[in-house]
Chains A and B, each alone.
Chain A
Amino acid sequence: MNDISVLVGGKAGDGINSAGAMVAQLLNHLGYRIYLYFDYPSLIRGGHNFAIIRGRETAPGTCGLRVDFVLALDQETVGKHKDAWKADTALIFNKDLVKSTGQGISIKEILAAEHAPDIMGNSAIIGGFAKAAGIAWKTVEAVFSSHIPKGTDQNLRVAKRAYDMVETVHPLVPCDNPPVPLLTGNEAIGLGMVNGGLEAYISYPMTPSSGLLHFLAEEQEKLGITVVHPENEIAVILMALGFASAGTKAAVGTSGGGFCLMTEGLSLAGMAELPVVILMSQRTGPSTGLPTYSGQSDLLFVQHAGQGEFPRFIVAPGTAEEALYWSEVAMHIAWEFQVPAFILSDKTLSENTYSADLSRVPKTRPAEYPLWDKTVPYRRYADTPSGISPLAFTGTGGAVVKVNSYAHDENGITTEDAGIVAKMTEKRLRKAEGLLQAMNRYPQVNISGNPAGMVALLCWGSTAGVCQEVAGPLGLRVVRPVVLSPFPAEPLRKALEGAGMVIAVEENATAQLAALTGQHGILCQKKILRYDGRPFTPDLLRDRIREVLS
């Protein structure tokens, strides 16, 4: 199978992410399915950034350890990643700054010859790569034209000079796929939310969730949504609840630290039965932790955050395609059940780029929820068999809408009456039963690898790709709950039927999913954990599995 990897490295500020994106688009237009991993420290200039772009005939979902091409804009790219080289790895480097074997080009001279600004230097390295990979010039022209709308011709001239200087080393074989959109997880989440009816997005910047804020802010006019960046995350979620009470579908996004500030608002959403969708994109914790690296250590936090007991929906998509689908579902669930709905992501999913083949994204059914039938007086918290009260919004003619954070009666008036408090608690919790039932309509648990494998890897979220890749050749089963609340205990039990050994694979130090399944009597015999901020690679995971099985 065609499977190639390209490493692009340089200093922060060199535009490594955009260079990586261009490489990814070139491969996309050769029919490759893409996974782009972007690694950067928490600083603005200097420091070493790198991206690994992997292209394969079928969607890769993870990076390999070895690369076929290295594109070096700084010396560290050559020095730091030697363990990723193969015997025939092709190096293209900027010989003004880098000493290396391979093919050097002088970006300075090329830019001078074309009177081009420094910012176009990356076009030279991409041109060099295209030639080294034997990519036809017309493909380069097509990709530059659609992805560098400003100064396309000059960028192309810069690229062509490098293209003409470099020898083809590894000619790539095109794959039989049409090009598809390349999306970061955050972009896929945003488009899924919009598909689900999003009208307002409120967020305070925090890596790795900020990409969604930037994307929706940039596209707000086209998408017809309101985007607000308020003073802090407390205001973020309270504003979203204000929007919701006026009938506007709102979502928020943050990472662990910001979510800490949101928890009082989350509990309010639970008590006041206000729909809100929350992107919680995890990074390495605790506290400030590693801002630009990944982790899966907030599952139990999100599961339990907020005082008191109230139903919530939590979904952890594993790819951009899943993010598109489940973010739309999350919007529907929030409004159907008047509950908070979480999209639990991490740096890996949020910031990496994936091929999103829309033909693989299932259609969702539109949200259905009861609206007030104009019977007076309106009772915001009318007790019903499902626990779901018909909705009227603040400003609806004829309705007095009373939203309340206190224990309240059906009208929304504060009460301390023991009987009413118990009855309304039961009303809210009945929604959890309905939610659990409704989940049977959705693919809550994903099974891949060898479905009959006696050894099962149990994972969640962004480790989907790496587990699937490693499991295949080893004959292992991969079981991945995508919905994490309400917990799909029965489907999960069924998915694990016949597995003699369950190995939890998680990017945290305490195996949080294993703890959660344990509460439902589903036990993991072994655990493979990584907690240094870096995602599992197939090689590392394979070694750890062999250790565990020996």
Chain B
Amino acid sequence: MTGRQLIADTENTWCPGCGNFSIQHTLKNVLADIEKEGQSLDNVVLVSGIGCHAKIADYLNINSFYSLHGRTIPVATGLKLANPDLTVICCSGDGDCYAEGLDHLLFAAKRNIDITVLVHNNRVYGLTTGQYTPTSPRGFKGKSTPLGTREDPFNPLELMLASGATYVARGYSKKMDLLRNLIREGIGHKGFAFIDILQICATFFPVADYYSSHVYDLAGHDRTDFPAACVKAREWDYNSDAPIALGTFYQKVSPVFEAKPAARKLSVAERGQAIRDLLEKKT
């Protein structure tokens, strides 16, 4: 199917000013680019979790698997192992991916499965109306923590570098051109690509002014230098006041996790023979 209308007719229920709009449109542009380059979008699948971000599954007219909270990655892994020709993109939230589904994120990085994970990191639970997430700053006053949180946030970039991710980047929903490049790179990367996207939540965590005044482009950074990537990743800890680098922190070529030994589908006759051989061994 070519030349499809990528934005679906579905009614959109994101809040006005929500950072998800720019992520959606960036992704739409990336998909259009991919199609222009001759790849069929029939082989692209979007896996989403549950949360505001996840509505993107309904809003983009491509294959999608609207999964469970925190469970984008195992579904995406199954899809990719089943059909290595698929381009598998996960849209996940910060509560989704860093809380409920953190184990899957770490393991996907560890095994270097060839999927691309976009974390819509608005640093707050939006759809459940305003609780702290693993990346909310210390002292965050949400509905479940009215006195302020008493724990520090995760630094997802550090987590990913420690877990073996082979592509680690950070984007920002108000820098759409950069984000477009990062997503393109992530999809093109052979292996596990992770992009943390700082996203504005207009209703519960509207920090656009802070981000806009602190972000800078990682131009000149050597993305193959792991120690340098760690230093850059630690510059801002999602908590203290510091410059916020955007771009690709780290990239490395590494063997990808495949269904190995590459399972060759057997004919019914071959399969029958294999079973008979096994039964003979058991007799």
Contacts and interface: CB of A to CB of B under 8 A. Distances in A.
Contacts of B78: 200, 202, 238-246, 250
B64 interface: yes
Contacts of B86: 246, 394-395
Contacts, number: 184
Given A181-B279, A405-B50, A399 B42 contact: yes
B283 A179 contact: yes
Given A234-B71, A240-B78, A224 B264 contact: yes
A254 B58 CA distance: 33
Nearest to A358: B279
A67 interface: no
B65 A394 contact: yes
Interface in B48-74: 50, 55, 57-58, 61-68, 71, 73-74
A27 interface: no
B276 to A, nearest CB: 9
Given A194-B275, A224-B271, A238-B67, A400 B1 contact: yes
A512 interface: no
Contacts of B103: 231-232, 234-235
Given A394-B45, A414-B58, A182 B283 contact: yes
Contact of B265 (A187, A224, A228, A395): A224
B278 A222 contact: yes
A19 to B, nearest CB: 17
B176 interface: no
Contact of B45 (A146, A232, A395): A395
B283 A400 contact: no
A405 B45 contact: no
B219 interface: no
Contacts of A396: 42
Contacts of A183: 279, 282
A200 B75 contact: no
Contact of B75 (A146, A221, A241): A241
Contacts of B147: none
A507 interface: no
A394 to B, nearest CB: 5
Contacts of A222: 274, 277-278
A234 B74 contact: yes
A221 B278 contact: no
Given A181-B282, A414-B55, A403 B263 contact: no
A180 B283 contact: yes
A413 B282 contact: no
A247 B82 contact: yes
B282 A187 contact: yes
Interface residues of A, number: 63
A191 B280 CA distance: 13
A243 B86 CA distance: 12
A219 interface: yes
B266 interface: yes
A265 interface: yes
Contact of B81 (A182, A194, A226): A226
B83 interface: yes
Contacts of B63: 394-395, 399-402
Nearest to B80: A242
Contact of B77 (A223, A242, A397): A242
Interface of B: 1, 4, 8, 10, 40, 42-43, 45, 47, 50, 55, 57-58, 61-68, 71, 73-83, 85-86, 103-104, 107, 259, 261, 263-266, 270-271, 274-275, 277-283
18 contacts: A181-B282, A181-B283, A191-B275, A200-B263, A221-B263, A222-B278, A223-B278, A232-B103, A235-B103, A236-B74, A238-B68, A238-B74, A239-B74, A240-B78, A402-B63, A402-B66, A413-B10, A414-B58
